[in-house]
Amino acid sequence: MKRFVNLLIFYLFFFCFTVFSKEVKQDEAFKVASNFVSQHCTVFTRSLPSLSLVYICSDVQTKSASGSNVYYYVYNITSSNGFVVISGDDRAFPVLGYSDKGSFDSDSIPDNFRYWLNEYRKQIAWVIENGKIQSQTVGEQWTALQSGKVLTAENSSVLLQTALWNQMKPYNNKCPYNSSGLKRCPTGCVATAMGILMKYHRWPLKGIGNHSYVSKTLNKALYADFELDYIWDDMLDEYKVDGVTNLWNDNQDWMVSTLMYHCGVASEMDYSSNSSGAYTYNAVKGMIEYFGYDKCMRLLPREYYKDDEWSQMIRNELDNSRLVMYGGSNEGGDGHQFIFDGYNSNGYYHVNWGWGGLSNGYFLLSSLDPETQGTGGNSGTGFSIDQEMVVGIKKAEQNSDYVTNLYLTSYNDVNGLFMNESNVEVNKDFNVSIVAYNYCLKAFSGMIGIGLVNESNELKEIVGGGKMDSSLSFLRLVSAVLPCKITTNLLATDKLQPFYSDDGVIWKRIRGSNNTINELSVNNPTAINYKTSDTQIKVFLSEDESTLSVSIPLEFEAKQVSIFNIDGRMINQINVSDNVVLYIPVNKLPKGLYVALIKTKNGMDSFKFIKK
């Protein structure tokens, strides 16, 4: 029986994979690129486009991708200017990004753009490795572009004008020399992004105070006095060169290089010969303390927000004429920062890479549809996107204050929330374990609590918690066991969620990611541990409620798992033989309460789960 089931699963998987997804060949990619550019000819050129394949990203990283996975193609628009990036797999969106300026040269693109393209590669590689199928939204776009059908009209909703600044001369003319003393270090992408932001706001008119620190790699003490008048009219939007002649004067050179150095010191830049790096946290802190920007600026991690919510926050900033500082980290932990200064109605965001306008253009936040990658872009079974952004960037307003942001995380045996009780009752004491950390520039010294919420996520009461013993600084975590007691009426659909409060009066939810347990059911926690002696049966409902995971210790000799609805009707039954881990699809089940009945040598064990 087991062999038959395994063979059936294999054939079904193979069928889905071959029918719904495939590698995109060069001729197909060229056709899609040509149709896309033709549809957008008013952006690129008034004549029919002429395209040239200039790069193929594949496993072997050569221009001949035979025998390897292809992740994307890049075509230069030789009939005018610009380039277009086409996915090499039809489970990702067809057009990953495009530009109507310059051309693509893989040997001379900005580091942060290289990082962004590598994120596309990792996302598409994840789809291939995990055998994902094409979503309907992605499929419709491929069909439209393959047939030449016009996609949604691209009317750019917002495009803010930003400076085309760089990291080298004249911008780094006041940065420290490298260890050899032969050349100045680059400004760093964080300082360049800060400078572009300040040039856009033409603020401050004068800085505040001074700062000193030791740049780590150079082991050199650096100092800046910010009590300086910043003459914005003396800073050009673009510093151009005509042949070997600089098209700027000494004042314009001095002013922009001074600003860039001040941004570096304010963010405690780690200067080095080929690249300079700083933490976004220090940049935001420096903009508030030394340059008079608003305390309400927030640094937000992407993994804690759903894709639609994340995108809407970016659009809201741009709609209100506020630039967004955006970035992420690669596998080595190197950070990359750039500016979002626009978007269009097709879901593309305009990026200023901070490299003199090179490669600026419109790009997707992700190559994958949320349906494919997992809600929020980061889930236990999805692709993890390690990105962050700064929102609320504006001049300081009177009486503004820092905005607290706490997030759930994992530490030791607790993953967000944990509760030993399988059921809770009114007026009965119980404990909830919580692990959270502070992502606010201001130390948190308020209260952590557990709230009882109804089916509509409305807070009914705070059932337990307490005040922090000591303040929680940026990125510091709190791990606590909170005593709780429910005193109000209790319904089966109620849940326990984490909250925080600055004043003990207004309570706000602590966000969790798809990798943390974010709420507990009052009659059956999200992660249920059934203990017999020293072993455990574990049942988990995935965050997107598509899969029920059942883990049974081998010594329990599992025999059968059955799923029943609230009326007692059996929905599904699986003979598990010697399997110890099962993944049961429940995505087609309607909302409601269900019971998983597990038969082992020890008898029958039941676990409830709720589809919301």
In this predicted model, what pLDDT tens digit does every residue of 108-117 receive, in sequence order? 889 999 999 9
Catalytic position from the list 189, 263, 440, 484: 189
| pLDDT above 50 (res 11) | no
More confident residue, 7 or 248: 248
Q: What is the pLDDT of residues 466-515, one digit of tens each?
A: 998 889 999 999 999 999 999 999 998 899 999 999 999 999 999 998 77
Using the structure block, give the residue that is written with the tokens 């709780």: 484
Q: In angstroms, rounded to a whole number, what is the distance separating the alpha carbons of residues 40 and 345? A: 13
Alpha-carbon span 40 to 256, nearest angstrom: 36
Residue 158 has pLDDT above 90, yes or no: yes
More confident residue, 576 or 76: 76
Whole-number pLDDT of residue 379: 35
Please compute the mean of the pLDDT values over residues 193-221 and round it to a whole number: 98
Using 50, 70 and 90 to split pLDDT, how confident is the model at 173? very high
Tell me phi and psi for residue 258, to 5 degrees: -65, -45
Please state, for a pLDDT cut of 70, what percent of the chain lies above it.
85
pLDDT at 93 (0 to 100): 96
CATH top-level class of 21-151: alpha beta
Q: Is the pLDDT of residue 219 over 90?
A: yes
Tokens linked to 507:
């309570």
- Least confident window among 283-287, 351-355, 555-559: 555-559
Residue 601 scores a pLDDT above 80? no
Indicate the average pLDDT of the chain: 86
CATH 3.90.70.50 holds for 156-402: yes
Highest mean pLDDT among 20-34, 279-293, 549-563: 279-293
- In this prediction, residue 63 carries a pLDDT of 47
Among 9-18, 194-203, 213-222, name the one with the lowest average pLDDT. 9-18
* Segment holding 115, helix H or strand E: helix 111-129
pLDDT of residue 285: 97
Q: Do domains 156-402 and 406-521 have the same CATH topology?
A: no
Identity of residue 179: S
Whole-number Å distance between alpha carbons of 116 and 328: 9
Domain 527-611: which CATH number of 3.40.50.2300, 3.20.20.70, 2.60.40.3080, 2.60.40.1120: 2.60.40.3080
Any idea which residue has 């004249």 for tokens?
170
Q: Look at residue 534 and tell me whether its pLDDT is greater than 90.
A: no
* pLDDT for res 584: 87
- Mean pLDDT, residues 233-249 taken together: 97
At residue 18, the pLDDT reads 36
* DSSP secondary structure letter of residue 353: -
Out of 283-292, 364-373, 485-494, 595-604, the most confident range is: 283-292
pLDDT of residue 44: 56
Residues 377 and 509: their CA atoms lie apart, in Å, by 20
Helix or strand run (H / E) with residue 492? none
Is there a catalytic annotation at residue 57? no
pLDDT at residue number 452: 97
Name the residue ranges covered by the structural domains of the chain: 21-151, 156-402, 406-521, 527-611
Beta-carbon neighbour count of residue 589 at 10 Å? 17
Residue 457 φ/ψ, nearest 5 degrees: 65, 25
Ranking 261-265, 318-322, 431-435, 600-604 by mean pLDDT, the lowest is 600-604
Cross-strand partners of 444? 472
Is 568 or 524 the better-scoring residue by pLDDT? Answer: 568
Catalytic residue list contains 189: yes
Q: Does 432 score more than 70 pLDDT? A: yes
Q: What is the structure's pLDDT at 381?
A: 38
- Choose the catalytic residue: 336, 350, 440, 484: 336
Nearest partner of 352 among 370, 334, 367, 340, judged by Cα: 340
Bridge-based pairing of strands 95-99 and 156-159 is: unpaired
Share of the chain above pLDDT 90, in %: 61
Name the band, by pLDDT with cuts 50, 70 and 90, for residue 553: confident
Residue 300 has pLDDT above 90, yes or no: yes
Task: Kindly list the strands in the beta sheet with 581-585, ordered across the sheet, starting from the edge strand earlier in the chain.
Answer: 527-532, 535-541, 547-551, 581-585
Is residue 376 scored above 60 in pLDDT? no
Residue 129 in tokens:
């490795």
Output the CATH code of domain 406-521.
2.60.40
Burial of 330 (0-12, 13-18, 19+ CB in 10 A): middle
How crowded is residue 438: how many other Cβ atoms within 10 Å of its Cβ?
23
Length of the chain counted residue by residue: 612
pLDDT for the residue 585: 87
Answer for the pair 115, 328: CB distance below 8 angstroms, yes or no.
yes
- Worst-scoring range by mean pLDDT, 55-69, 410-424, 521-535, 563-577? 521-535
Asked if pLDDT for residue 19 goes beyond 50, the answer is no
The confidence score (pLDDT) of residue 360 equals 95
pLDDT score for 469: 82
